[in-house]
Structure 1
Amino acid sequence: MIQRKRRVAILIFDDVEVLDFAGPFEVFGVSRFASGDPAFDVSVVSLDGKPVRARNGLGVQPHSAPEDLAAADILVVPGGYGTRRLLSDPDARALVTSASQAAEATLSVCTGSLMLAAYGLLRGMAATTHVDAMDDLRALDPGIDDRPGARVVDNGRLLTSAGVSAGIDASLHLVSRFAGEGVAIETARYIQYDWRERGVDRPDINPFRT
């Protein structure tokens, strides 16, 4: 495998669920190749470039401007109550859609999948979300093949994960894909996370499957 550092952009917004973005941020941020070099360059990006207040009032300062989403190799869309305000936001739709189409992979965590569904990015694909939001996902796009029992659903370029902590599993899954299984195993060991590629569903229905 050719070692190439990839750029990860994690979208943040008001009332984003903390672990939804912080879990992937930690996983990608600490992943190292055997040489010791970082496997990923990770940044958090808000829609207007300004700080956000995550769930429970945590203030988060973004690293990058909104236009930097388009430069991401991997786009992470977390969930939280703040997603509801963005489902019909035209600016958010344009930014996320453009970034997702340019990225090698887009990962939603928890109710981040509702944004992808509302923007038409999951049409005809399999997907999962937080167990309490499955009805919302179906309502946004009845054509989605919902997989409530899956922790991670991997359609190739578009991946969704279940509630909150499942974003760590999905991030390690992508580390394994892009940096190698050994890097993912070492990353999981370093953060002392019990990871065994559990609950990964790989449907063969996506025409963009890699």
Structure 2
Amino acid sequence: MEQARQARNVVILIYEKVEPLDFVGPFEAFISASDFGRDFNVYTVAEREGAVAAVGNLSVNPAYAFDSCPKPDILIVPGGWGSRKERLNPAIVNWVREASGEAELVLSVCTGALILAATGLLDGLDVTTNRSAMHELRAAVPSTTRVIEGVRYVDNGKIVLSAGVSAGIDASLYVVGKLLGIERAEKAATIMEYDWRRE
């Protein structure tokens, strides 16, 4: 009898002033690629329970708080104006560092890279972010880290970083292809009616 496949937990961090498309885009990409939940369980997590006000005052209720969140297999760290504040928040930085250690793969979108930089996990890697935040990322990482401009995403093996906003969808589909094959990623893009920009 064929063993039932275990769906990967895709955990998306949200916080005050997170950019909506930075987390909703990857959410949609992994849901569309999930084969009706067989391959990915996708959910949001925040530092604590209760509504989170994203950029534009979009109110979002996280599925979990840090203390109740199931172990992530894939961790997504989105950006937004709030990333500048949250990269100085020990609760978020420590949780991301710990969750990243247990995860199979970590993906940042836009200025989510600033939060990852605060964990020390980007030391010596190739990184990218939103074009308007390159100077902030350069200031946040050591000289051993190479900041790359003009790309949609970069893959360091376990850690994938993407440029701004819609690039997070491209990177999410790339990750789907990396894990489940290119045909699954292409099918998800078709379901979304999304023009996937690959590197």
Task: Label 1:68 to 1:122 Cα distance change in 2 as closer, same or farther (>3 A).
Answer: farther
Q: How far is 1:193 from its partner?
A: 0.9
RMSD: 1.6
Mark the runs of 5 or more structure 1 residues left unpaired by the alignment. Answer: 200-210
**Number of the residue aligned with 2:20:** 18
Instruction: Supply the distance in 2 between the matched residues of 1:176 and 1:147 (Cα, whole angstroms).
Output: 22
Instruction: Supply the distance in 1 between the matched residues of 2:104 and 2:22 (Cα, whole angstroms).
Output: 20
Query: Matched residue of 2:106: which SS?
Result: strand
- What TM-score do you get using the length of structure 1 for normalisation? 0.88
Q: How far is 1:4 from its partner?
A: 3.9
Mark the runs of 5 or more structure 2 residues left unpaired by the alignment. Answer: none
- What TM-score do you get using the length of structure 2 for normalisation? 0.93
**Number of the residue aligned with 1:78:** 78
Query: Matched residue of 1:44: which SS?
Result: strand
Paired residues of 2:80 and 2:112 also in contact (CA < 8 A): yes
Task: Label 1:111 to 1:152 Cα distance change in 2 as closer, same or farther (>3 A).
Answer: same
Task: Label 1:102 to 1:54 Cα distance change in 2 as closer, same or farther (>3 A).
Answer: same
Query: Matched residue of 2:24: which SS?
Result: helix
**Could you tell me which amino acid in structure 1 is paired with residue 65 of structure 2?**
A
**Could you tell me which amino acid in structure 1 is paired with residue 62 of structure 2?**
P
1:127 aligns with 2:102: no
Q: How far is 1:3 from its partner?
A: 4.9
Task: Label 1:69 to 1:133 Cα distance change in 2 as closer, same or farther (>3 A).
Answer: farther
Instruction: Supply the distance in 2 between the matched residues of 1:136 and 1:9 (Cα, whole angstroms).
Output: 25
**Number of the residue aligned with 2:30:** 28
Residue deviations 1:131-183 (CA, integer Å, cap 9, x gap): 00000000011322011121110001111000000000010011111222111
Q: How far is 1:32 from its partner?
A: 3.7
**Number of the residue aligned with 2:46:** 46
How many residues in Structure 1 have an aligned counterpart in Structure 2?
195
Residue deviations 1:73-129 (CA, integer Å, cap 9, x gap): 000000000011111211111100000111000000000001111221100100000
Paired residues of 2:31 and 2:37 also in contact (CA < 8 A): no
1:165 aligns with 2:166: yes
1:174 aligns with 2:175: yes
**Number of the residue aligned with 1:55:** 55
Paired residues of 1:69 and 1:99 also in contact (CA < 8 A): no
**Number of the residue aligned with 1:117:** 117
**Number of the residue aligned with 1:195:** 196
Paired residues of 2:34 and 2:41 also in contact (CA < 8 A): no
